[in-house]
Amino acid sequence: MTHVREQPECLVPQHPSDTRWSPRADASEAFYKDYHRLQSALQEISLDATQNSSTRNEADALAKHMNTIEIALMCELWNNILQRFNSRSCCKVIPSN
């Protein structure tokens, strides 16, 4: 977790809103830009003896899953799609009076 905390420019994925696209785009951008830092944080959690075994196992599985080319490609693909969709939908917002 120190990999994420020590970097002030590090984006942190948040739970996306169910009604708007911009939080989904923000979450995908955070995941995409800080992919390796997030993976390092998961690896650190998996080795942390203060965490319970379930948390360590899940963090280890997620970190290993992030090593696959499929996850890396899907991360880039969805980030591109959501960023474009978000930029288009932001332009079409009509303010209410």
What is the token pair recorded at 11?
């984006």
- Interhelix angle 22-33/35-47, rounded to 10 degrees, is 70
Does residue 2 lie within any of the structural domains? no
Residues near 2 by beta carbon (within 8 Å), at least 6 away in sequence: 44
Domain range for residue 55? Answer: 20-91
Quick: pLDDT tens for 36-93. 999 999 999 999 999 999 999 999 999 999 999 999 899 899 888 888 877 777 655 5
Q: What is the pLDDT of residue 84?
A: 84
Does residue 10 lie within any of the structural domains? no
How many structural domains comprise the chain?
1
Does residue 82 lie within any of the structural domains? yes
